[in-house]
Each structure stands twice: as structure tokens, then as C-alpha cells.
Structure 1
């Protein structure tokens, strides 16, 4: 697709003093017009005919926007194609590099829509490599771009992108702030908008990680209603996954198991094995955190380990799975094996987000307590309390304080 189309469509719309909603009224959603303008969707001949008529221009003129005419445009098209193909193939390093190159070419072309689209893709590729600080910087750059302010849909997408970046970094209060902004802005989008659903995902996760469980549960009800009818299978699966996570955190085991079962019915390995792996890893983690040590929990853990052995994964993925395996061993009474399982995780703790570092310290302390090594456990708990407090998770910090108080009382 020629990169001129989205930019020229936006300019033509603005010249006619039309909003995206007005241009698409009765036929195309606001979010779909936004996707056309950012180059995320390719216009068909039917769409070109309809939009050219609404803008009062010759169809042939609009058709000409869809053809690359300069060497820079041709280079951009090749780089964009490579970036998207690499991302689809989960070759995230190449996807990030190609998207970054494409964004540079877009700047030369003075094409804001093309730049925005490629920077967004670059941020997602950085996220999927676990390079969260670079991801945050790229997401903030997208949010600060003038084009973002011109479109409600782009603004919601950018705020969601930044929220997820701060969530990955464990800076939970900032994640909540940006996710709240995204959801509030997204309230003006069409009902059941996938852009708004993505914002709700970010808000649920941010609230839950920061310990604001009742607010997270209320947001879950909104998310559940948004995917109740007509949502794509995978989107609905992700929603039930998120809702189940919050239920487990609230110790509502029945609701947690029910929603994760609904998610498992929709997130299938044949459709997306990487997503299936992440879901099983998260489900095992949530079940164990809630004290559910049934055979189904071990099955989730083993499925995640198997999938990761097939697809590879980031260092973070491997460390998180080792942490989950250690929690399983601890809950089943094999404390020494659990502590041994945590050694390689501790050796790579700096690669983990702060909230996971806190969980590592908390679990290490529990294991040490089980072995009667209270003095060492106190040091782990002190570090856990500090990490959780800085990450904006006071409820988890309070658990560290309670355990430390228990140790000191036993030593008196």
C-alpha cells in the first residue's frame, strides 16, 4: 500500500472540516477511519469510491494516493512490509530494527501518519523482547507526537501503550494513571471498540498489580460486558484471562477458575502458541498465589514450560517460569528444592521488573523461614518491602512487614 494514502486522506478530511466520525458516518467506524489514516488498513476500491464521494473529489485522484512514486516511498513500503512480516513471525529484533528504519524514512517524507504507525510497531516489538525501558521511551514519543492529539482513537491507543510500558517496568502508579486516561477517553469511542477493550485490559492489570483489587474488579465487569457479544475469540479469551487473574487475587477461587476455563476454551495453541504459553504461565502463577495446588495447576505450568521450549522466549519468560516452579515446590513442601530453583532467578534479578523482584524476595524469605533461617529471611523481607513500596504495591509490602514481624516475635 502506498504510504501517501493515510496522510492525504487526513488532510482532505481536515480541509473539509470533518471529524473522523463524520467522514465514516453510517458506514465506517471512527476507529476504522483512524486505521486508514495511520496506514494500518489498506483501502479497497469500494472504500475509495465511497470516501472520495463523501469528500467531493474524483475517485481517480484518491486512487493515485495509493501508489508509491518516489524512491523513499518505495523504500518505506519495503521496510514496512519487512517489519510487519517479522513481527508476525515473532522475529521481534528484526521487526524493531526495520520499523525504526521505516520511521526514519517517514520523517524524510514528512509523513506523520507513517512515522506514527512505525513507531507504534517498534514499541510493541521492544515490549515483546522485554526491553521495557526502551519500550517506555518509544511509547512516550508516540504519545507526545502532535498527530496523537488530532485523533481520539490514536490518543487512546498511545495512552494504553504507555500504561503497559510502565506496567512492565513495575511503576504501577504511572501505569494506573495512563490506563485511567485511556479508558476515560475511550468512553467516547463506539461501543465494544477493540481500542477501548485494550485500554480496559491495561487498567485491570495495572489496578490489580498495584493492589487496588476492588477497583480492578469493577473494571472487570465493564470489560466482561464489552466482550460479551461479538468480540473476536482471542480478544474474549484475553478478557476472561484478565478477569480470572483479578478473581484469584481477591481469593475468589471459584470465579478465578471459571474465568480461566473460559479463557482456555478460546486461547488455543493452534491459533497462537506464544499467547497460549503466556496464558498457561499466568494461570499457573495466579492459581499458586491463591494457594490452588490441584493437578490442573501443575498441568498449566508444564504446558507453559513445553511451549517455551518450542518457541524460545525472552530471559524474563524463563525467569518467571522458574519462579513459578519454585512456588509450586514450596507450596508442596519441598522447600530446599524451591530455594535451589530460585538461585538462577536471583542471579538474574536485575532482568526482572521490580514487582517480580519483590515476589522473588518474598518467596525466598518464605523458603528460608521454612528452613529455620530467620535472620536471612529478614534481609529478604526488608528488600521485598522496599521494592514493593517503590513499585507502588503497598499491599505486597504489607505482607513483607507482617512476615518480618512474625519472625521477630518468634525470636523474642
Structure 2
């Protein structure tokens, strides 16, 4: 029911020419006022008393905002509740469909806050299905909506949403641009704001994936400081995960292992098995990239495989796990077995981002070289170079070029 309240609260605030920070000053954060206005939080009796006084409104009049009075409003409340329940249950297809229906009802109600809230949920549902092209389109629609420019918190959330969409598509330079914007804007939010921390996550990931490791590491220090101020355990776990990733990429193996151990202590299967699966998959990938092939790395792969067998997973996640298992085999001197593991990945390569398609071809080439098929490796290296260049990852493209040069030189 808070969605009707939120829209009317926003209108009253604007009529009083107040910012969200001014309305909440001294008691409520800017982020919390934003959550009230988008209907993400229900107002308590105390909040209604406080805000009605600050806006010079009759308390009973504000109380009445919190009750749906029309069939469309009642329909919206039901659809929103179902969409959020489906998302929490990881039924992302239903969550996306229901959020789309709820957004259409919000348009009929001319309720921009309700529309924004449901479109944001729709984008997240598309993301978690791996439908990144559609996710990008919805995220950019949210970013361009006039309501987004009325709130700093909404602007940061929308820029972060778009950054993550381009990150998923492998368009790393665009992801960096949007993540930088989100972080710069987010500096005006409280230092421990989860919205600001989310922007930092996006920037660390996009910088690291595009090879800008020094910049990524500096951002990691900011992220570490932000979560040290009392972030929830799961948020802190995600932060240590991201920081460890960058450490591995910088070949600081000890720091990478230490931070991933801190993450493993906070990201537990009982709390969120899907997140646990993704962490173990990512940790295995980072360890392998750094040449860490000890038994603990295999255990990470097996944990991720076990979790995905329980919860399922979108096609790109399953393919990526095959790719990680193949890397393990290759690094442990089993290139022929690795090539067998890569066959289903290559057959469905279009489900992967440009960056991962590059990794697929680069690993395939290395395995072919390992089995003595040097000439067969060259077409894969050419495709890898093109995929990495398209993804905005010049360092990885250079690796493909160097390996191709070595093969041609050896054949002269």
C-alpha cells in the first residue's frame, strides 16, 4: 500500500520545494525518503506523524494516503506483492511478467513512482535470467525516466543498473562510464549507504574486467572502508569477494585468497544458496586465472556444480561453469579432456557475453596446442582477439595475438 503513499509524499515534498535530504534532515536518510517515495518501504505511524508535521499537512489526511481506494490501486498492490514474492523465490520469469503487468497498471494510475519501482524489479528479473539485451533496454528506460533525475538515490541506482547490464553484455568501456557516474553521484550519499556500495561494486567489476587493475584496486580500498562501517554480513561478504577478485587479477595471490576466505565466512548456503553457487564459481575462476590449482579450487568448482544442480541456473551460468571446469583440466595437464568439456559450450556460445566468448576461444586454442594441433588453434585465436577487442578488453586481446604469433614463428 505504500506505493500510493509514496507518490503523494513526493508530490507534497515538491510542492513545498524541498529536497529528499531536507525532508528527512536530522532523522531520516535521503535513501530512506527515496524508498518511501518509491513504495519500497511502508510508512509507520511515527513516520506519518513526523513527515506530516514537516510538510505542514493534516496527519489524518496523510494517513489516508496509505489505503488503496480504487480497483486499479488494489490490482497494483496484488501484482506488486506477487512480483516481489516470485523474485524472492527466484521464480524470475514470473517476477518479470508480473512486474511488467504492475508497471502497466501504474501507467494507468499515472503513478510514476510505482512504474519506476516495478520497471526496476523487471530489469533485475531479466538480469537474473541472463537476458542481458532485454535487461539493458529496460535499465536504460528506467535511467531516462524524468523521475530518476528528481532523486539522487534513484539516479545512482539507475546508473548502477545500466552499468551492470553492459557488464553482463561484455561492453566493458560503457559499463565503466556508467559505474563511474554512479559512484561520483553516490559520494553525496552517506558513506555506508547500500546504494553507494552497490555503485562501488559495479565500478570494481567493470574496471577489473576491462583490465584497469590499478584503478580497480583503488576503488576496492573505498569499498572496503564503506563496508567496514557496519554493512550487513552478506553485503560485506560480497565486498570481500569483489576485492579478492581484483587481488587475484593483480597477481596478489595471498590477498586474493585471504579476501575470498573472508567472503566464504559470510556467504553461506543456508542464507542464499544461489549466491553461494555464484561465489564458488567465481572464486574458482579467479583462482584458476591466478594459477592456483590446489584441491581447494576443485572444491569450489564442485560446490558450484552441486548448488546449480539443486537450484538450476540460467544457460550462461551453466556454460560458464563448464568453461571453468575445462580450465581446471587444462591447467592440470589434461587438454584432451578439457576440449571435451568445451564442446557443449562452443555449441551454445551465443549465450555467452563477448568477453566469455573470447575466453572460450583462447582456452580452446591453448588446449589444441597442448594436444599438438597448433594450426587448428589459429582460427580460435583470431576469434578470441576479435571478441576481446569488441568487449573492450585489450590486455586479453593482446594475449591471443601473442600466442598466434608464437605459433606462426614456430612453423617458419
TM-score (norm 1): 0.99
Unaligned runs of 5+ in 2: none
Q: 1:2, CA displacement in angstroms?
A: 4.5
Matches within 5 A, 1:100-115: 100-115=100-115
Aligned to 1:223: 223
User: Could you report, residue by residue, the CA deviation over 1:104-153 in whole angstroms, capped at 9, with x for unpaired residues?
Assistant: 00000000000000000000000000000000000000000000000000
- Cα separation, 2, equivalents of 1:33 and 1:2: 12
Asked if the contact 2:2/2:36 (under 8 Å) is kept, the reply is no
Q: Is the 8 A contact 2:204 2:216 kept in 1?
A: yes
Residue pairs, 1:307-346, within 5 angstroms: 307-346=307-346
Match of 1:31 in 2: 31
What secondary structure sits across from 2:81 in the alignment? helix
Deviations 1:328-358 (A, max 9, x none): 0000001100000000000000000110000
Q: Secondary structure at the match of 2:139?
A: helix
How far the C-alpha of 1:229 sits from its partner, in A, is: 2.1
Residue 153 (structure 1) aligned with residue 153 (structure 2): yes
Instruction: Give the aligned CA root-mean-square deviation in angstroms.
Output: 0.6
Report the Cα offset of residue 59 of structure 1.
Answer: 1.1
Deviation at 1:3, TM superposition (A): 2.5
Structure-2 separation of matches of 1:266 and 1:230: 14
Contact 1:361 1:383 in 2 (8 A): yes
The number of equivalent residue pairs is 412
Equivalent residue number for residue 81 of structure 2: 81
Q: Structure 1: which 4+ aligned runs deviate by more than 3 Å? A: none
SS at match of 1:126: helix
Please report the TM-score for the alignment, with normalisation by the length of structure 2: 0.99
Query: Which residue does the alignment assign to 1:97?
Result: 97
Which residue number corresponds to residue 183 of structure 2?
183
1:364 aligns with 2:364: yes
| Aligned 8 A contact 2:2 2:40 in 1 | no
Q: Secondary structure at the match of 1:292?
A: coil
What SS does the aligned partner of 1:3 have? helix
In 2, are the aligned partners of 1:2 and 1:68 still within 8 Å (CA)? no
Aligned to 2:41: 41
Counterpart CA distance in 2 for 1:296 and 1:28 is: 45
**After superposition, what is the alpha-carbon deviation per residue over 1:154-185, rounded to whole angstroms, capped at 9, x for unaligned?**
00000000000000000001000000000000
| Distance in 2, Cα, partners of 1:191 & 1:202 | 16
Is 1:171 matched up with 2:165? Answer: no
Structure 2 residue 302 is the aligned partner of structure 1 residue 302: yes
Determine if the alignment matches structure 1 residue 347 to structure 2 residue 339: no
* Equivalent residue, structure 1, for 2:19: 19
For 1:224 and 1:361, locate their aligned partners in 2 and report how far apart those are by CA, in whole Å. 35
Task: Tell me how far apart the structure 1 counterparts of residues 217 and 362 of structure 2 sit (CA, whole Å).
Answer: 25
Summarize the alignment of residues 149-298 of structure 1 with structure 2, pairs less than 5 Å apart. Answer: 149-298=149-298
| Cα distance in 2, alignment partners of residues 164 and 40 from structure 1 | 21
Partner residue, 1:374 = 374
Quote the Cα distance in structure 1 between the aligned partners of 2:409 and 2:249: 28
Query: Matches of 1:64 and 1:121 in 2, distance apart?
Result: 27
2: CA distance between counterparts of 1:191 and 1:26? Answer: 16
1:45-84 maps to which residues of 2 (within 5 A)?
45-84=45-84
